[in-house]
Amino acid sequence: MKKLIIPEDYRNMLTRESTESAIKFIKDEFQQALAKKLDLKRVTAPMLVLGGTGINDDLNGVERPVSFPVSSLNSGRVEVVQSLAKWKRMKLAQLNHEEITGIYTDMNALRPDEELGNLHSVYVDQWDWEKVLDGEPRSLETLKSVVGKIYEAIRDTEVALCERIPVFRPMLPEQITFIHSEELQERYPDKQPGEREDLITREYGAVFVIGIGHSLKDGMPHDLRAPDYDDWSTPTVNGYKGLNGDILVWNPILKRAFEISSMGIRVSPQSLEKQLKIRELEERKELMFHRKLLSGELPQTMGGGIGQSRLCMLYLRKAHIGEVQAGIWPDEMREICEKNNIELL
């Protein structure tokens, strides 16, 4: 089990029954806090989208969606969503006449190419949110302002949980620290991106790494991003590129950086053109979503996803995502977990 981390002397702080009750509390509490902080209205999300439209996301650019033919659609293929970044933008365009400028939803996805371990399963559950910029500039300041509000919701939920279950104590810092991936590379030039994240997050407790997807000075990106949802190529006032990033917190159980959210200002027609060219994927401009965006039919937005099981793992001091969601795991992983007090659901 190459990717399996076994914390030393690990013990569950809650029974399975208490864990289930706490999961419900966290999910109810956090989505209310998020909606209030960002002024979002809840909408219903699809599990399936039509293939060949460009609506589904390919995340880092290489993940395969689960797809199958539907007989009632003349055997046309549909895909299980991998995220809703593009769908949400189309939904906001649809809701424009109702003057709804911000939405959130429960996103349930399947990602069969994930390498299973403490943090990843085939099933993905997150809160997906999207806001119309509505006159706000496409700027680093806009991005940071929203990140700050999301982090407040994360902190507020932690405090509420600790009041409800006193066995836990708040551990997140009061403020989140911002750092650009270029600065991170300059700070730790001899480290790989994952090692840089561990070092900076251990130091500050909660960090937003800005600029995910563009090439750094060594010619490699901090991490991969698809070219058609987040804007990672626009230069900012400090000369760095990128209007997107990841919220990371320090996980004291796994002793590593722990990604809670991926988010950013979405591509404009100009940055979409640029990023498709950089990735040599200009043929995507013929897909339905991309045509609508390039022709100005979709609003300028920002948005992201916040891991539901990830937050539950963090708050409840769990070592494995299978302790907060029912999943499918290799027999060897189940056996190792059972021997080390990791109680998979």
The residues that are catalytic are 57, 111, 126, 246, 259, 262
Residues in a beta bridge with 49: 79
Copy the structure tokens of residue 299.
Answer: 């609003």
Contact 51, 77 (CB under 8 A): yes
In the block, residue with structure tokens 């593009």: 86
45: left (phi over 0), alpha (psi -120 to 50) or beta: beta
Distance CA 324, CA 344 (A): 8
Three-state SS annotation for the chain: CCCCCCCCCCCCCCCHHHHHHHHHHHHHHHHHHHHHHHCCEECCCCCEEECCCCCCCCCCCCCCCCEEEEHHHCCEEEEECCCCHHHHHHHHHHCHHHCCCEEEEEEEEECCCCCCCCCCCCEEEEEEEEEECCCCCCCHHHHHHHHHHHHHHHHHHHHHHHHHCCCCCCCCCCCCEEEEHHHHHHHCCCCCHHHHHHHHHHHHCEEEEECCCCECCCCCECCCCCCCCECCCCECCCCCECCEEEEEEEECCCCEEEEEEEEEEECCHHHHHHHHHHCCCHHHHHCHHHHHHHCCCCCCEEEEEEEHHHHHHHHCCCCCHHHCCCCCCCHHHHHHHHHCCCCCC
Rounded to the nearest 10°, the torsion over CA 325, 331, 332, 337 is: 30
